[in-house]
Amino acid sequence: MIDICQATECLTDIIAYRQSANGCLSDLDSDLLASGGNTCIYVNDEPGVNQDVIEAAMSEDYENVSAYLRAVRQSEIQNALQAYINQHKELTRARTLLDNIDVVKNITYFTDKVQTNGRFVGIMITPKKSQSITAIIKNLGVQFDSIQSGLPIYFFETSQEDAISTYPLTNTKTNSLQWFAMTDFEAKYKYDGGGTGQSYIVGYFENDLAGQAINTKLYGSCCSPVVYSDFLSISGVVFQSAALSGTDLPDMKQIGYTDETFGLALKISAVCDITDTICDNTTLFAQLCKKKIATRIMWDFYNNMNLNRKAELSRDRALPNITRLEAEFAAELKGIKLDLTDLDSVCMPCNKNFVTSATMR
């Protein structure tokens, strides 16, 4: 698995454009230029890809040349990563370790309800110590006796006082279990925006709840975490009202553990994730992405029907550049090899010298 958004962000930081010295051409926005002392790869260092060509390549769909270059950079980084994945798909060893497991499996009774008491309640996920295994909450289920209209569901990482994500939940069923797809509730051993070796808590404040939750329980014994194949563990958790301070995560000294899930259910997968490996090896992918971006600009230039006379005279020279760039892209693509030293052993491909492939989500 590759988190395409995170990998794209890592590569965007080192792929830049040079500002033309020609004062008649547009000034590029600062986010497109090299900054912060990073080692940068410049797209318009490619032969033939100068700012005259770039401005002639831009269609009327873009507000200005900076908007065009920003969009091209993002889309072609993603296309370059996808090309790498597709080329090695038949050799992939990146896999799902736990597939959509349900953490609530016991029978529930609609008349068995949780008495609200102004607490924060939820489920805690603790991922395995690993640089390459990610627990993903695919779906959140709820069983409440009343309709909720935008009930805030909070996702905390225990090194952060503020929630790292929230979800406004509106259900259409009462008493019955109803599922909602989640998109950004991920539990990593090493969280880029916070700590390492932390736990994650998904839950709600009872004062926000309309009505009551149906009493649901984890598949496990009271007060002991449920461990799934050593990849992650699950616990029901509660913070009493006296421990709360607004919508901040309370002090972890005040946490209580339980087998109750307070009307919540989760479907969780554990997957091998090589995103950090990509981000740790951006220099290997930077040239690949530069070729892809330059090729897109040259094709846009060649196909633009609104060229001025000067640009028209240069159009025929675009095709040899495109042929060269596509050949060089193919060579770069074939030659990429990554160091997998930090990957968990269960995620390693049979050939441990390099990544062969991954699946993108």
Q: Is the dihedral of CA 190, 194, 196, 200 positive or negative?
A: negative
Q: Is the dihedral of CA 265, 191, 83, 67 positive or negative?
A: positive
> What domains are there in the chain, each with its CATH number?
4-92+275-347 (no CATH), 96-272 (2.60.120)
Q: Which two tokens stand for residue 49?
A: 């890809």
Instruction: Say what percent of the chain tops pLDDT 70.
Output: 83
- Answer whether residue 355 shows pLDDT above 60: no
Q: Give the residue, 234 or 274, on which the prediction is more confident.
A: 234
pLDDT score recorded for residue 269? 86
pLDDT score recorded for residue 124? 94
User: What's the residue count for the chain?
Assistant: 361
Can you name the residues that pair with 129 across neighbouring β-strands?
A: none
Tens of pLDDT, residues 102-142: 888 777 899 999 999 999 999 999 988 877 778 889 999 99
CB atoms near residue 227 (< 10 Å): 13
Cβ distance 17 to 294 under 8 Å? no
Residues 6+ apart with CB under 8 A from 190: 131, 196, 197, 276
- Answer whether residue 92 shows pLDDT above 50: no
Q: Is the dihedral of CA 20, 23, 26, 30 positive or negative?
A: positive
**By mean pLDDT, which of 180-184, 206-210, 239-243 is the weakest?**
180-184
Cβ distance 12 to 77 under 8 Å? yes
Tens of pLDDT, residues 281-338: 788 888 999 999 999 999 998 887 666 555 555 666 788 889 999 999 999 888 887 6
Q: Give the residue, 181 or 190, on which the prediction is more confident.
A: 181
Instruction: Say what percent of the chain tops pLDDT 90.
Output: 42
